[in-house]
């Protein structure tokens, strides 16, 4: 990072603010102008919301805009698009796909979801059975079922992997697509969770037509393309930027300070351990983000996601125990369809129940441990007898 490059970013940001005063500009118009000025994600190419600048310089832009009261793109609402779809489109998409999809994705005009997991292919994602068949007209027809799909009920687009050659082993013969969620063959049904809410969905695909121009990467190389998505997903879940004592540990520490009558020496020792674990995870996430400034995310992101899931479940369990009978007070089982998961302002019982899903979503903790062992530590992989067997011959 050089002084000149920092000053250039500040100059560009101030020029944007001068031309599009946030106080007088509609938020969407401001976001579109920000994208066109290359200040959306500065490390992206020129013309695609960026300036081919170092990723670390994004903080310069964000600080200037925050100080001016500029609107953001509500990143939590469009997290799948920002954290998973966009990096994959950038790496594997055609020029036409990038130009068409990235701008409305970043501005939040179009919400994205992820059609990966299936009832019979969750942890073993490569065993997926959703089929895509190419017709003579250059259009793929997709049939199958996906599950645990966040935001499917609000999404305009989906990233989708489907089997295009069942005669090949399961990790091959998979192709990656962009799926139009408004296609009449797409049916979204809510999945009610232990909290009573339905933030996830199951999605049924019946004769869904996807033009070949909406394919990402080569036919049959969908598994390789999906690794970009999955690596970014783990980073986006486990590597979220939070201040010291932010998130769940801040909620629990706040209760501890406000309710001295609940304290015991044993609980104090446990809370101190959780606080230290949270700080270690926060610093590890910062280090991971520093590594991302010079390259693509790798399997190391599995570690932060694994640590996030474990800590969330330990903290919410501790909070319920700290509050005793008060911690069991969650009793609202109304089926609602939230766009976001928000732990703030909710009961401890809700947080405890919702955190159970943290070790499943974004890759189960068991699978993440395998990734860390094999791809990070270099340990021998477990024997896999089905690795070279044609998918059509696998027992299901």
Give pLDDT tens digits for 90-107.
999 999 999 999 999 999
Predicted local confidence at residue 217, as pLDDT:
97
Q: Is it true that domain 81-220 has CATH number 1.10.1060.10?
A: no
Q: Indicate whether 136 pLDDT > 70.
A: yes
| pTM score | 0.87
Name the residue among 183, 176, 189 with its Cα closest to residue 208: 183
Name the residue among 17, 13, 94 with its Cα closest to residue 53: 13
**Burial degree of 340 (CB within 10 A; 0-12, 13-18, 19+):** exposed
Q: Are 354 and 341 in contact (CB under 8 A)?
A: yes
Q: Are 154 and 120 in contact (CB under 8 A)?
A: no
Name the residue among 317, 319, 244 with its Cα closest to residue 278: 244
Sign of the Cα pseudo-torsion (99, 111, 355, 361, in order): negative
Residue 112, φ and ψ in degrees, nearest 5 = -115, 155
pLDDT digits (tens, 9 = 90+) for 273-327: 999 999 998 888 777 766 665 556 666 677 888 898 999 999 999 999 999 989 8
233 is catalytic: yes
Answer with the residue of higher pLDDT: 135 or 368: 135
The first and second tokens of residue 190, run together, are: 């809510």
Catalytic residue, candidates 118, 197, 199, 233: 233
Integer distance in angstroms from the first to the last C-alpha of the chain? 53
**Residue tagged 């969620």 (tokens):** 181
Mean pLDDT of the chain: 90
Average of pLDDT values for 173-200? 94
pLDDT band of residue 236 (cuts 50, 70, 90) is low
- β-pair partners for 139: 211
Alpha helices in 75-165 (DSSP H): 79-80, 86-92, 95-107
CATH of 227-376, one of 2.30.30.90, 3.90.1150.10, 1.20.140.10, 3.10.20.600: 1.20.140.10
pLDDT band of residue 68 (cuts 50, 70, 90) is very high
The first and second tokens of residue 22, run together, are: 């946030």
Answer with the residue of higher pLDDT: 240 or 39: 39
What percentage of the chain exceeds 90 in pLDDT?
A: 67
- For the beta carbon of residue 331, count every other beta carbon within 10 angstroms: 9
Q: Indicate whether 240 pLDDT > 70.
A: no
Contacts of the segment 331-334: beta carbons below 8 A, 24+ positions apart? 332/196, 333/195, 333/196, 334/196
């Amino acid at each position: 990072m050089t002084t000149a490059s920092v000053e250039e970013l500040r100059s560009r940001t101030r020029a944007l603010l001068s031309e599009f005063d946030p106080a007088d500009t509609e938020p969407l118009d401001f976001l579109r102008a920000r994208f066109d000025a290359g200040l959306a994600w500065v490390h992206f190419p020129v013309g695609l919301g960026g300036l081919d600048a170092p990723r670390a310089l994004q903080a310069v832009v964000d600080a200037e805009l925050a100080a001016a009261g500029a609107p953001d793109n509500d990143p939590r609402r469009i997290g799948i698009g920002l954290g998973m779809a966009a990096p994959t489109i950038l790496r594997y998409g055609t020029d036409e796909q990038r130009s068409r999809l990235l701008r409305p994705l970043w501005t939040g005009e179009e919400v994205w979801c992820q059609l990966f997991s299936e009832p019979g292919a969750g942890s073993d994602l490569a065993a997926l059975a959703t089929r895509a068949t190419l017709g003579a007209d250059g259009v793929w027809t997709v049939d199958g079922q996906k599950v645990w799909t966040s935001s499917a009920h609000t999404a305009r687009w989906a990233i989708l992997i489907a089997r295009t050659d069942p005669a090949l082993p399961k990790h091959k013969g998979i192709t990656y697509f962009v799926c139009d969620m408004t296609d009449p063959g797409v049916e979204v049904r809510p999945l009610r969770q232990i909290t009573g809410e339905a933030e996830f969905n199951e999605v049924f695909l019946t004769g869904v037509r996807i033009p070949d121009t909406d394919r990402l990467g080569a036919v049959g190389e969908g598994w390789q393309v999906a690794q970009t998505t999955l690596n970014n997903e783990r980073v986006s879940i486990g590597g979220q930027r939070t201040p010291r004592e932010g998130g769940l540990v801040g909620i629990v520490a706040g209760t501890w300070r406000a309710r001295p009558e609940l304290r015991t020496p044993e609980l104090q020792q446990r809370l101190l351990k959780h606080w230290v674990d949270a700080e270690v995870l926060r610093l590890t996430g910062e280090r991971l983000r520093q590594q991302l400034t010079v390259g693509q995310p790798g399997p190391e992101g599995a570690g932060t996601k694994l640590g996030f899931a474990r800590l969330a479940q330990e903290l919410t369990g501790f909070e319920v125990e700290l509050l005793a009978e008060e911690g069991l007070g969650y009793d609202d089982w109304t089926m609602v369809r939230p766009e976001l998961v928000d732990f703030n302002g909710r009961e401890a019982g809700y947080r405890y129940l919702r955190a159970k899903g943290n070790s499943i979503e974004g890759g189960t903790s068991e699978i993440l441990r395998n990734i860390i062992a094999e791809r990070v530590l270099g340990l021998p992989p477990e024997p896999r007898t089905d690795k070279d067997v044609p998918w059509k011959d696998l027992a299901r």
